[in-house]
């Protein structure tokens, strides 16, 4: 199959006009000028997307697909209030609810050009959903226990889940990993045990880290909405005995407890970090998943993206929970992330090319999947999207990269392909899921959550 469009954006090479990409057996087999490829492969089916950009599928480095049904339920509240509200709503969900919610999230991801997601879960619903939908994913099983006596049991349950999930999925598309729970929900011994297990089983690790001011103050000073002030009281997540302040940053706290000892670790957010934290992340080759839209929506702060880039950290973008941002849209994520950085860091101008790289090859490198995805290169998997550039807000297009980042959103996606299989075309899915039935279930679940 020859995919043709006015622009082709390989990402790791310069964009070119009137181009085509040859897809065979789930891989990219050739790319170049459309006229030349049509002559070279005269018998190939040709699909022409016209005034559009063909580019690699977007890599969403952090999401919670199973929370998709909760979007719009809790609005206009800061981070800690939102977290506690989500816990309350989650208690009303059952196993089938989580699955249907994850399917909804996967459908929205595909329709907005996302071909690969990295998701943290305890239910396993995103694992089943991405397998069913034909998406590429890295699914991290979250594990945590605040009471030291419960840590070993929590680890055994998580290990059993991970080994089971591995058997249930297509390992060419889906990778299973492990994730320690948030620092304020974990006894510190969890981090070392997760690292040991990850090394033993060759698993990737992801962890929320330094995301909010409340977390920072909790770790360093022992005072925040997460802290315990008396022995007979439970506040937030923390049970007795009360938390003792560590006097250090969340990054160094996690480091001291062995959180970065495994070879493939992603730190999510990293908003409240200093220069020494960034040096340590680089020293241990920890990748960063920045979630600018969620951070802004919940008042968490702004991650220093330009400093991550300057330090040489493997950095990508994540949409985080749809319950916070209300949409799984990486195109919007790029634009808002770029504009926020420009607003707060006037000395280092972040450009569109850098943002598009973060959303594609940057995310792939951070997940250590760049040998398969993230750019249009011969031999890589055919995870490809086509983005419409014919709208009046994009015409005339003199710089397709700038047009994609500055003007596009999920609604401009014309086609999403994973492993050479078209899973989405404008307003139409080619997936093994009854979409109408799923939407009906979502309406039912939302009714339950609003009670």
By three-state DSSP, how is residue 115 classified?
A: strand
The pLDDT score that the predictor gives to residue 318 is 98
Domain 2-56+381-429, CATH: 2.30.40.10
Tens of pLDDT, residues 147-162: 889 999 999 999 999 9
Coil vs helix vs strand at 6? strand
Residue 401 binned pLDDT confidence (cut-offs 50, 70, 90) = very high
**Does residue 359 register a pLDDT over 90?**
yes
- The answer to whether the CB of 280 falls within 8 A of the CB of 252 is yes
Q: H or E element: which one contains 436? A: helix 435-449
Mean pLDDT of 392-405: 84
pLDDT digits (tens, 9 = 90+) for 410-422: 999 999 999 999 9
Listed range (23-27, 123-127, 397-401) with the worst mean pLDDT = 397-401
Residue 200's pLDDT is 96
Residue 63 has φ and ψ, to the nearest 5°, of -155, 170
CATH 2.30.40.10 location in the chain: 2-56+381-429
Q: Give the least confident one: 37-41, 138-142, 218-222, 424-428.
A: 218-222
Strands (E), 337-448: 384-388, 413-418, 421-425, 428-429
pLDDT band at 438 (very low <50, low <70, confident <90, very high): confident
Is it the case that residue 289 has pLDDT exceeding 60?
yes
Residue 104 is predicted with a pLDDT of: 94
Query: Which of 195-199, 255-259, 386-390, 439-443 comes out lowest in average pLDDT?
Result: 439-443
Identify whether the C-beta of residue 353 lies closer than 8 Å to the C-beta of residue 99.
no
Q: Could you tell me if 52 and 389 are in contact, meaning their C-beta atoms sit under 8 angstroms apart?
A: yes
Helix (H) or strand (E) holding 19: strand 16-24
pLDDT for the residue numbered 231? 35
Q: Is pLDDT at 66 greater than 60 in this prediction?
A: yes
**What mean pLDDT is predicted for residues 252-271?**
97
3-state secondary structure of 235: strand
Q: Which CATH entry fits the domain spanning 58-366: 3.20.20.140, 1.10.357.10, 3.40.640.10, 3.10.450.50?
A: 3.20.20.140
Share of the chain above pLDDT 90, in %: 76
How many residues does this entry show for the chain? 451
pLDDT over threshold 80, residue 268: yes
At residue 225, the pLDDT reads: 65
Residue 242: the pLDDT is: 53
Prediction pTM value: 0.93
The confidence score (pLDDT) of residue 141 equals 98
The three-state secondary structure class of 29 is strand
Residue the block writes with tokens 């299989």: 421
126, 65 Cβ separation under 8 angstroms = yes
| Residues forming a β-bridge with 343 | none
What CA–CA distance (Å, rounded) separates 372 from 355?
20
> What pLDDT score was predicted for residue 448?
81
Q: Does residue 245 surpass a pLDDT of 90?
A: no
Give first-to-last CA distance, the chain, whole Å: 50
pLDDT at 238 over 50: no
Question: What is the signed CA dihedral for 340, 344, 345, 349, rounded to 10 degrees?
Answer: 30
Q: Is the pLDDT of residue 233 over 90?
A: no
Report the pLDDT value the prediction gives residue 3, as an integer from 0 to 100: 98
Cβ-proximal residues to 399 (8 Å cutoff; 6+ apart), any chain: 352
Residues of the chain with CATH 3.20.20.140: 58-366
């Amino acid at each position: 199959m020859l995919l043709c469009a006015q622009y082709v954006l390989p990402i790791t090479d310069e964009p070119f006009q009137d181009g085509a990409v040859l897809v065979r057996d789930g891989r990219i087999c050739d790319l170049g000028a459309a006229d030349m490829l049509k002559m070279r492969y005269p018998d190939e089916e040709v699909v022409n997307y016209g005034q559009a950009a063909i580019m690699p599928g977007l890599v969403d480095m952090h999401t919670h697909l199973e929370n998709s049904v909760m979007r719009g339920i809790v609005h206009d509240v800061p981070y800690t209030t939102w977290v506690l509200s989500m816990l309350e709503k989650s208690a009303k969900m059952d196993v089938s609810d989580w699955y249907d919610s994850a399917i909804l999230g996967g459908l929205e991801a595909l329709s907005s050009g996302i071909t690969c997601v990295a998701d943290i879960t305890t239910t396993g619903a995103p694992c089943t959903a991405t397998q069913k939908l034909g998406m590429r994913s890295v699914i991290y099983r979250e594990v945590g226990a605040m009471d030291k006596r419960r840590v070993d049991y929590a680890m055994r349950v998580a290990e059993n889940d991970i080994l089971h999930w591995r058997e249930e999925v297509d390992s060419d598309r889906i990778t299973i990993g492990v994730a320690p729970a948030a620092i304020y929900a974990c006894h510190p011994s969890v981090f070392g045990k997760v690292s040991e297990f990850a090394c033993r089983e060759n698993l990737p690790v992801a962890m929320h880290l330094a995301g909010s001011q409340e977390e920072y103050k909790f770790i360093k000073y022992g005072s925040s909405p997460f802290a315990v002030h008396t022995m007979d009281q439970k506040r937030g997540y923390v049970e007795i005995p009360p938390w003792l302040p560590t006097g250090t940053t969340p990054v160094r706290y996690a480091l001291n407890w062995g959180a970065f000892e495994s070879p493939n670790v992603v730190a999510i957010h990293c908003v409240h970090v200093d220069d020494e934290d960034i040096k340590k992340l680089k020293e241990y080759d920890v990748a960063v998943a920045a979630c600018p839209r969620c951070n802004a929506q919940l008042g968490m702060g702004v991650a220093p993206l330009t400093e991550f880039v300057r330090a040489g950290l493997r950095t990508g973008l994540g949409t985080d929970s749809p319950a916070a941002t209300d949409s799984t849209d990486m195109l919007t994520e790029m634009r808002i992330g770029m504009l926020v950085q420009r607003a707060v860091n006037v000395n280092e101008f972040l450009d569109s090319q850098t943002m598009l790289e973060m959303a594609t090859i940057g995310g792939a490198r951070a997940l250590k999947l760049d040998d398969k995805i993230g750019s249009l290169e011969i031999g890589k998997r055919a995870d490809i999207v086509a983005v419409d550039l014919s709208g009046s807000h994009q015409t005339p297009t003199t710089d397709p990269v700038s047009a994609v980042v500055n003007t596009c959103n999920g609604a401009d996606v014309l086609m999403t392909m994973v492993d050479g299989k078209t899973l989405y075309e404008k307003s139409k899915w080619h997936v093994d899921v009854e979409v109408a039935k799923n939407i009906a279930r979502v309406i039912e679940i939302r009714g339950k959550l609003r009670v």
